[in-house]
Amino acid sequence: MTWTKAPLGDLLSYIGKGVAPKYTDDSSAADSVMVLGQKCVRNQSVIYAEARFHDEAAKSFKPEKVVCPGDILVNATGVGSAGRVAQVVDAPSRKCITDGHVITLRSSDRIDPVYLGYFVKSKQVLIEQMAEGSTGQTEMNRTRLQNEILVTFPESNEDQKAIAKFGLAIDRKIATNAKLNGYLAA
């Protein structure tokens, strides 16, 4: 297996913050779109139960803002939350965007998105240290994120997929065991 290294920014087709939503309490409305904020990016997981809803009829957004499977989410602001990482593994149950406090990273064709997600999650402690600014108002520096995170990966996309598949299998086992533990505790 031949390995190579590249800055994170060279492996992305898209990097950007979410939108400033026009929130609505009517999640069943036709124009209601799920919004993932900082509360949704915890423990290296996406927690959809914490999502709020945006009224797309009141404020539109660009198509690239829609969350896709494989997207990596990084909290962009706040002491204690900036730098937290999660990956969207499966398609959300409905149309979904992020708010302005979350950075979306979307992989290029050069690297398997799930492999990249595992790599970025493994660098969460380093990413958390990239937040800059005054107390309580820290902000993730996207330029540093793109340039200072050096991704090591197999050149072969098949090898990347095999490693990612192994990681997904472990994560699914952990999730199953957590559910079983919950049932046993109840």
Is the pTM value of this prediction over 0.85?
Answer: yes
- Domain count of the chain? 1
Question: Which tens digits make up the pLDDT trace of 156-179?
Answer: 999 999 999 999 999 889 888 888
For 150, the domain range is 3-185
Separation between Cα atoms, residue 136 and residue 157, nearest integer Å: 41
Is the pLDDT at 136 greater than 70? The verdict is no
Count Cβ atoms within 10 A of the Cβ of residue 20 and give its class: 0-12 exposed, 13-18 middle, 19 or more buried.
Answer: exposed
CA torsion sign for 63, 67, 69, 74 is positive
Question: Which tens digits make up the pLDDT trace of 89-107?
Answer: 988 989 999 999 999 999 9
Q: Give the mean pLDDT of 53-82.
A: 93
Separation between Cα atoms, residue 160 and residue 3, nearest integer Å: 10
What CATH number did the domain enclosing 144 receive?
3.90.220.20
Q: Which of 22, 25, 51, 47 minimizes the C-alpha distance to 36?
A: 51
